[in-house]
Structure 1
């Protein structure tokens, strides 16, 4: 196992125990490709493990080969959407403008990531749904527990939460604090309106 496996395992053990069902491992963390197969073996069907921060074709291919169950990219690239779709792996590309988001959605993305979501806020989803009533949106960037509730109430398909959930867990922070934050997010998502 790669050196990053131990840190990933400490954090994922807590997240999975708290009921988190999907975790995006980002390529900004060294050793992600090498860690993914072992993490998939360890967590099996208990959690979907995706690869995020995919920005080019070779990283997308490596993520698929490593066994990512989904892909996330911070950019709007129809070429990446088409490549992921051809590989049979769901992809959630990022964008901010209606043109970027609709371009990725119409190219076959499973959902689109409004990034950075903190810049526009949950009311933006209502605005997008005017011309694009069926678009599936996942806000990312600047999403904390309070704004996650507002995005879910506005109709977001899911929320992508990084720092407000993980805190300092990867740098030796208290795992009990991580567990409390994770449970709060799980409860929030479980209580979302249908």
Structure 2
């Protein structure tokens, strides 16, 4: 089974652990994993991100899809592949980054802002699209996008997502979410993160049941 097919079985919820350190990555990641998150992202502008990702890979194995965010070059993709990362999340749409990720059988979640960028990402092979910054664009933007996006593409809303606005984006048609600063900030304890992660996954499950 390829990585793309394996990850398709995971709930499309990404825990964005920006600023996490290697020494705290496992307890924090365990908190979100136990809540139900299976995509775990360490942005590359975090302290020693490759070390944190290597520890995640060693700890979770194939139980979770762990990797990096803020990936903007094919060279960074190669570095991630060398530590066993399985997830590549980008703030932008760079077909070279997408193709490089797929070459290593990694999940690519490119960011996009316009329909042109969305279809460029799809043409490069992406099946997950990260609408960013989603809160700035709004739910009506999502509704319009969904009328033209292919059905196999999973649309994630990222940027300004909170427990208060998940519902409107879910009703507009997004498939999942990336949760960052509202889930984890440097200094948060694993107990705080566990509570927030549980609340987000509970909300996600409720939205899937009703929308």
Q: Is 1:140 aligned to 2:158, yes or no?
A: yes
Tell me the secondary structure at the aligned position of residue 80 of structure 1. helix
> Contact 1:117–1:142 (CA<8 Å) still a contact in 2?
yes
5+ long unaligned stretches in structure 2: 1-19
> Contact 1:122–1:147 (CA<8 Å) still a contact in 2?
no
Query: 2:205 is matched with which residue?
Result: 190
Deviations 1:154-176 (A, max 9, x none): 2222100100111x4x22x3433
Query: 1:131 is matched with which residue?
Result: 148
5+ long unaligned stretches in structure 1: none
Using the TM superposition, give the Cα deviation of residue 133 of structure 1 relative to its aligned residue in structure 2, in angstroms.
Answer: 4.2
Count of aligned positions: 189
Q: Is 1:89 aligned to 2:106, yes or no?
A: yes
Aligned partner of 1:67 among 67, 84, 107: 84
Higher helix share: 1
Higher strand share: 2
> Contact 1:74–1:93 (CA<8 Å) still a contact in 2?
yes
Q: Is 1:44 aligned to 2:52, yes or no?
A: no
Aligned partner of 1:151 among 150, 169, 173: 169
Query: 1:108 is matched with which residue?
Result: 125
Deviations 1:88-138 (A, max 9, x none): 212011110111111112221121111111111122221012222424211
Query: 1:12 is matched with which residue?
Result: 29
Of structures 1 and 2, the one with the larger relative CO (CA 8 A, separation 6+) is 2
> Contact 2:26–2:55 (CA<8 Å) still a contact in 1?
no
Tell me the secondary structure at the aligned position of residue 82 of structure 1. helix
Equivalents in 2 of 1:10, 1:65: separation in Å? 23
Q: In the superposition, relative to structure 1, how do residues 193 and 13 fare at CA in structure 2: closer, same or farther (>3 Å)?
A: closer
> Contact 1:16–1:46 (CA<8 Å) still a contact in 2?
no
> Contact 2:73–2:96 (CA<8 Å) still a contact in 1?
no
> Contact 1:123–1:154 (CA<8 Å) still a contact in 2?
yes
Q: In the superposition, relative to structure 1, how do residues 161 and 80 fare at CA in structure 2: closer, same or farther (>3 Å)?
A: same
> Contact 2:146–2:173 (CA<8 Å) still a contact in 1?
no
